[in-house]
């Protein structure tokens, strides 16, 4: 009887968010809204700059556009709901809405993961096999790599959905975050979570450790190849093509590891939510700045876009 009292089927969950203090709600609203607008506009500007400049129609910038789309989707799965929650003073999310948010969050997050791996492979081919770059990284192969990234991400999302759907009762309805964290959802199960923990561990290895290993191996080969370049100018030019990507990789995996450590060793809901904010909102927001400030071609394309935008109305009037 005691076990039955602890178990229940739920139709909705309650997100703890960051704070229930009424005085902090306007601050949180302004913070989340500004970060979301900066993220969307920054990534849209990257996409517009790449698509409008024919010199940037290369595999490297094709994957950068895909990464920008994934970043916008990654942020859009969590921040708009948080903004609505603050405006309505309600942190409730339905069971269906929670599963939908979790699915989109996993899909977009995994897309970021795989695209960063593919971009590392692209830089490896460009630096270590420059004479065969056009043959290896042709449009057909780029499309296949993008499709495989999406299919693998979708499979991971469906796997987590299947595991959550197997949970028939939950110990409580409070989720210590500002979105439906898949790991926390599984931990709320009344039944034994050993099987789901094993699957989660395997998925983490496949979708986390293996892509990171691919990135590290690519950069090991890249650094080895760069060190063999005789001139310092040549070494700097070769490494400069990787600096933006390497910075984004460190930011993405650094904050991702922070989320894992905070959820595993910290009992504070605020620390978990803050770590998740860094991973799911701050990182996608900073990516456009990293690529635009450290990439001369992107800066040039953005200047052209701004000039066209500013000059076009005057041409219409004349």
Residue pair 153/164 in contact (Cβ under 8 Å)? The answer is: no
Residue 269 — very low, low, confident or very high, per pLDDT cuts 50/70/90? low
Q: How far is CA 220 from CA 15, 21, 36, 116, 214, in A?
A: 42, 49, 35, 15, 10
Residue 43 — very low, low, confident or very high, per pLDDT cuts 50/70/90? very high
Residue pair 81/102 in contact (Cβ under 8 Å)? The answer is: no
Per-residue pLDDT tens digits for 147-194: 999 999 999 999 999 998 888 788 888 888 888 888 888 888 887 777
pTM, two decimals, is 0.87
Residue pair 252/110 in contact (Cβ under 8 Å)? The answer is: no
User: Which region among 105-114, 194-203, 215-224 has the lowest average model confidence (pLDDT)?
Assistant: 194-203
CATH code for the domain defined by 10-317: 1.20.1070.10
Residue pair 188/13 in contact (Cβ under 8 Å)? The answer is: no
93 in helix, strand or coil?
strand
Q: What is the average per-residue pLDDT within 194-220?
A: 88
pLDDT over 90 percentage in the chain = 34
Query: Tell me, what DSSP letter sits at residue 191?
Result: S
Spatial separation of the C-alpha atoms in residues 148 and 111, rounded to whole Å: 10
Spatial separation of the C-alpha atoms in residues 280 and 318, rounded to whole Å: 46
Spatial separation of the C-alpha atoms in residues 125 and 218, rounded to whole Å: 9
pLDDT over 70 percentage in the chain = 89
- pLDDT of residue 272 exceeding 90: no
- pLDDT of residue 216 exceeding 80: yes
More confident residue, 134 or 228: 134
Two tokens, residue 11: 């139709």
The DSSP code sequence of 150-168 is HHHHHHHHHHHHHHHHT--
Identify the top-confidence range among 68-82, 228-242, 300-314. 68-82
Residue pair 48/124 in contact (Cβ under 8 Å)? The answer is: no
pLDDT score for 307: 72
Q: What is the rounded (10 degree) CA torsion for 232, 233, 235, 237?
A: 160
- pLDDT of residue 303 exceeding 60: yes
Spatial separation of the C-alpha atoms in residues 264 and 34, rounded to whole Å: 30
Question: How do the domains of the chain map onto residue ranges?
Answer: 10-317
Work out the widest C-alpha separation in the chain, in whole angstroms.
82
Angle at alpha carbon of residue 239, lines to 227 and 219, rounded to 5°: 75
Per-residue pLDDT tens digits for 278-296: 888 888 998 888 887 667 7
Per-residue pLDDT tens digits for 7-27: 456 788 888 878 777 788 888
- pLDDT of residue 240 exceeding 50: yes
pLDDT score for 2: 41
Q: What is the rounded (10 degree) CA torsion for 137, 138, 140, 141?
A: -10
Spatial separation of the C-alpha atoms in residues 243 and 253, rounded to whole Å: 16
**How many helices (H) and strands (E) would you count in the chain?**
14, 3
Residues 6+ apart with CB under 8 A from 108: 70, 71, 73, 74, 77, 153
pLDDT score for 64: 92
- For 252, half-sphere exposure in the C-beta direction (CA atoms, 13 angstrom radius) is 27
Helix (H) or strand (E) holding 270: helix 269-277
More confident residue, 81 or 238: 81
């Amino acid at each position: 009887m005691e076990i039955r009292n602890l178990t229940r089927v739920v139709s909705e969950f309650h997100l703890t968010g960051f704070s229930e203090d009424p005085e902090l709600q306007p601050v949180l609203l302004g913070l989340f809204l500004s970060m979301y607008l900066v993220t969307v506009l920054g990534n849209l500007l990257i996409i517009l700059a790449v698509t409008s400049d024919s010199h940037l129609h290369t595999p490297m910038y094709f994957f950068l556009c895909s990464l920008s789309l994934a970043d916008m989707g990654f942020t859009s799965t969590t921040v708009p709901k948080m903004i609505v929650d603050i405006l309505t003073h309600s942190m409730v999310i339905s069971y269906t809405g929670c599963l939908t948010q979790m699915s989109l969050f996993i899909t977009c997050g995994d897309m970021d993961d795989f695209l960063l791996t593919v971009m590392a492979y692209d830089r490896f081919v460009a630096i270590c096999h420059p004479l065969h770059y056009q043959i290896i990284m042709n449009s057909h192969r780029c499309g296949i790599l993008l499709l495989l990234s999406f299919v693998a991400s979708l499979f991971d999302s469906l796997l987590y959905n299947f595991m959550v759907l197997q949970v028939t009762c939950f110990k409580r309805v409070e989720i210590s975050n500002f979105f439906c964290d898949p790991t926390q959802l599984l931990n709320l199960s009344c039944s034994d979570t050993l099987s789901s923990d094993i699957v989660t561990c395997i998925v983490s290895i496949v979708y986390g450790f293996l892509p990171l290993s691919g990135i590290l191996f690519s950069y090991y080969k890249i650094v080895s190849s760069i060190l063999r370049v005789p001139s310092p100018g040549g070494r700097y030019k070769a490494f400069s093509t990787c600096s933006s990507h390497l910075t984004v990789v460190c930011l993405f995996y650094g904050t991702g590891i922070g989320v894992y450590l905070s959820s595993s060793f910290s009992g504070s809901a605020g620390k978990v939510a803050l770590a998740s904010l860094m991973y799911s909102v701050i990182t996608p927001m900073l990516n456009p700045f990293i690529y635009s400030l450290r990439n001369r071609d992107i800066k040039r394309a953005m200047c052209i876009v701004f000039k066209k935008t500013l000059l076009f109305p005057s041409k219409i009037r004349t």
